[in-house]
Structure 1
């Protein structure tokens, strides 16, 4: 089985000619619909009918002799074909040969290099694939763990696979790995006093580690000979100073709230990870225009939660199955008798089901009901809090208070902070699927601007920050659709697209083309999730709330463990 790594400027016609096969054979082998659906750094399968010695390898064999170079016209073969490598600054042919388990003479022969001492950055070299193997990334893998498994380095894997972001590998991704090469050991600089070893955990950054051990990023980078302090990998063991610096205080405990809508994925995730959840917030209770409640309790889920001592906050909402019903919620909140009826029904249901508290998720309320919403929450809080029930409310995100804003004006942050035990600020949907322009679900700068305002109105320990785990897939110029993290990975695999990371927004994204239509997907993964939890700690928040269980990157659970 042969694979070819598409290079910048390649066309399907060029690759087909290279291997002496028809374009249609490559399209069929890779389940591609059109010849233009290939892109740089994509790994494509070469059909079995390809020549054993493609034109790419029909270079002059260079025999290095004492008296000079003798060239003979001969086909250089390796059992599994070849792959390519782009020369990096500081590379020599000797270093490359050492890294990939070959010889200078072999590289010179494959690439018709008359003078092995002369190569330049950006030059594309052909390497013998006999010294590599194909590895499919598995759930839980990191580049560091793969490098350890194959006795190589993360940097070698980055260069070999042209990875733009080493932290963004995903299950099912195909990587080339060297066969059994000794990993280069960088020289260790003198330690500035006593040190100890620390194993990098998922979600760690050098900044967080520096804070934990009361040191600086620069000290850690120098101590560990790090060329790029931004690139650290879970599982890597680094040195940290012990004295005179002592580890700083552990970050505050972050409560982990998860919204729940029943599905096979949600049920499976609950059973596997309930120990990392502080409270489940199930979307079970729809209100009516008469102040009644439509009971959607899933008894199986509730019984499981009780058996495992998991708190459950019943979520009461005005969602009618299609949208949040403005007319309904305005009608109920503006009528004193209906407000009282609804409160009585909520209290009775919570007592009957044995819930631990409530979550009020009333959205798209007209701003004219601002005072009525506050009055409702005050009365509910006075009724439930003294009995030991936890009262929480969801509020739409805002950077300042505009009481006339049709979406967020109804939420008086300061007053609601006094009328609830917890306020969940919905720092999500910065770019919503109905918007024609794609963008981050919750960029970090936007989240911080919202939190700046929030903690000026509500005590930080009462605030729960939304940490979304889903994404939206936008066909360019049209509304998008909701996608879960597993769906994003499936899209990347199906369309051979590379998951990328936007450092400015701290958000992952994916570009792909289907049926001739360009798509852009913005979503959340373990990396962006971890950066949000770091932010919650920095602001001293009480925790986070994620919509919704079952949609998440499986690696977020390791991140949560790191922060608790």
Structure 2
């Protein structure tokens, strides 16, 4: 699989000639209209076996092999070169496909209202071949220990057809906000807690869920140990039924990290109790904050490296956003919220407004600016093939269990192509 970044004046036809792949094949892989002009800085995925590398000034086979994680001898042999041959800048090397490690992949989806929208069902169908888990968000805990279920539609049959494990997401959402007060009730009232666990298990049996996933957030710091005790009790009952139990964790960089989203999340305890955890490594750039990458790779790495000091890599799933944000400038705290955009919509915005897509190599994220019809400046940070590939490199470097996406329903076809190119997706 090749990632090609569009330069000024390039066309799909020219790219098809470079790689020997038809215009229609490239357009279909990236779900773009071949009749439309490409955007400068747009990243395309070219569906070829292996990839190509263009030599940079001063590089030799040893430097390139180290960068790509292959042996110099293998690289020389595949390309019919001598190890001692100088390589001119711009020389094209063929890189064979690497062995794919196994990985688990989860995707949340969030049905709204009373039914699962047809477009969301279709998104689930398209993603299911590439998933280990499918996670409808969410079963909301009520103050009496019962649950308010989300609409599920045909999600169970979609999962079954593709061998995907249904993940039952249980939250302390109340009036669309995570509630510390609600959390305190079921963490400290044994009768309500027992009713809740009975309801969770009976609901899992009813709908065919095989992983119970606790996404309990914004708890009182003083309820940290109560949450740990609850998880131990829940894990015992859930495991007796033959189900997995997982949790969602806020992105921390130390055990002592304070704050309403962090204090009650005990990485070490969750690593001991849960079968696996999903760490929400996104939302550095968020709708109510200043414009920046949603999941810049440096902060993501710091969170994951801390997590590895508290639990084994085999229990960690890295969180990843399937969206970006469009901010109106200048940013004013408490002002207008940024609008969520899919990667496909971001590219269309850039095309419509004749913007050039830039790439921040420190954050490993694409971005661009444009002016709207009212004369207001906007900045957009989103995800593309390059930013996702950077996260896959990190996942493989740290040997993590897998990756978890928030959330389906936002078009990003390149992601699923790159998943299959990088990993053998585990089916449970």
TM-score bracket, shorter-length normalisation:
0.7 to 0.9
Judging changes above 3 Å, is the alpha-carbon distance between structure 1 residues 548 and 419 closer, same or farther for their aligned structure 2 residues?
same
Q: Are positions 1:410 and 2:264 aligned together?
A: yes
Give me the whole-angstrom Cα distance separating, in 1, the residues matched to 2:21 and 2:284: 42
Q: Are positions 1:524 and 2:383 aligned together?
A: yes
Contact map agreement 1:285 1:297 (CA 8 A) in 2: no
Give the TM-score normalised by structure 1.
Answer: 0.60
* Match of residue 489, structure 1, among 337, 347, 354: 347
Q: Any idea what the Cα deviations from partners look like across 1:446-483, whole Å, max 9, x if unmatched?
A: 11111110000011100000021111111111431222
Q: How does 1:275-354 map to 2 (within 5 A)?
A: 275-320=129-174, 322-354=176-208
Q: Are positions 1:273 and 2:273 aligned together?
A: no
Q: How does 1:196-207 map to 2 (within 5 A)?
A: 199-200=50-51
SS in 2 for 1:557: helix
Give me the whole-angstrom Cα distance separating, in 2, the residues matched to 1:332 and 1:273: 34
Match of 1:561 in 2: 420
Match of 2:71 in 1: 214
Q: How does 1:152-167 map to 2 (within 5 A)?
A: none
Judging changes above 3 Å, is the alpha-carbon distance between structure 1 residues 273 and 414 closer, same or farther for their aligned structure 2 residues?
same
Give the drift of 1:347. Answer: 1.0
Judging changes above 3 Å, is the alpha-carbon distance between structure 1 residues 218 and 419 closer, same or farther for their aligned structure 2 residues?
same
SS in 1 for 2:169: strand
* Match of residue 174, structure 1, among 37, 55, 65: 37
Give me the whole-angstrom Cα distance separating, in 2, the residues matched to 1:224 and 1:558: 35
Match of 2:108 in 1: 259
Match of 1:366 in 2: 220
Match of 1:533 in 2: 392
SS in 1 for 2:400: coil
Unaligned runs of 5+ in 1: 1-84, 86-131, 152-167, 177-196, 230-235, 241-246
Judging changes above 3 Å, is the alpha-carbon distance between structure 1 residues 239 and 532 closer, same or farther for their aligned structure 2 residues?
closer
Q: Which structure has the larger Rg?
A: 1
Contact map agreement 2:285 2:294 (CA 8 A) in 1: yes
Q: How does 1:119-134 map to 2 (within 5 A)?
A: none
Unaligned runs of 5+ in 2: 1-7, 23-29, 40-47, 54-62, 112-116, 424-428
Judging changes above 3 Å, is the alpha-carbon distance between structure 1 residues 217 and 284 closer, same or farther for their aligned structure 2 residues?
same
Give the drift of 1:144. Answer: 3.8
SS in 1 for 2:321: coil
SS in 1 for 2:370: strand
Q: Are positions 1:449 and 2:302 aligned together?
A: yes
Q: Any idea what the Cα deviations from partners look like across 1:76-110, whole Å, max 9, x if unmatched?
A: xxxxxxxxx9xxxxxxxxxxxxxxxxxxxxxxxxx
Match of 2:94 in 1: 238
SS in 1 for 2:177: coil
* Match of residue 145, structure 1, among 1, 16, 25: 16
Q: Higher mean Cα deviation, 206-215 or 369-378?
A: 206-215
SS in 1 for 2:363: coil
Q: Higher mean Cα deviation, 550-559 or 212-221?
A: 212-221
SS in 2 for 1:174: coil
Match of 2:42 in 1: none
Match of 1:545 in 2: 404
Give the drift of 1:351. Answer: 1.2
Contact map agreement 1:469 1:529 (CA 8 A) in 2: no
Match of 1:227 in 2: 89
Give the drift of 1:305. Answer: 1.4
Give the drift of 1:213. Answer: 3.1
Match of 2:26 in 1: none
Judging changes above 3 Å, is the alpha-carbon distance between structure 1 residues 450 and 310 closer, same or farther for their aligned structure 2 residues?
same
Q: Any idea what the Cα deviations from partners look like across 1:477-510, whole Å, max 9, x if unmatched?
A: 1431222223212311221212221111101112
Give me the whole-angstrom Cα distance separating, in 1, the residues matched to 2:358 and 2:230: 45
Give the TM-score normalised by structure 2.
Answer: 0.78
Give the drift of 1:420. Answer: 0.5
Give me the whole-angstrom Cα distance separating, in 2, the residues matched to 1:326 and 1:210: 47
Structure with the bigger RCO (C-alpha within 8 Å, sep 6+) is 2
Judging changes above 3 Å, is the alpha-carbon distance between structure 1 residues 227 and 268 closer, same or farther for their aligned structure 2 residues?
farther
* Match of residue 391, structure 1, among 235, 245, 248: 245
Give me the whole-angstrom Cα distance separating, in 1, the residues matched to 2:409 and 2:297: 23
Paired residues, number: 376
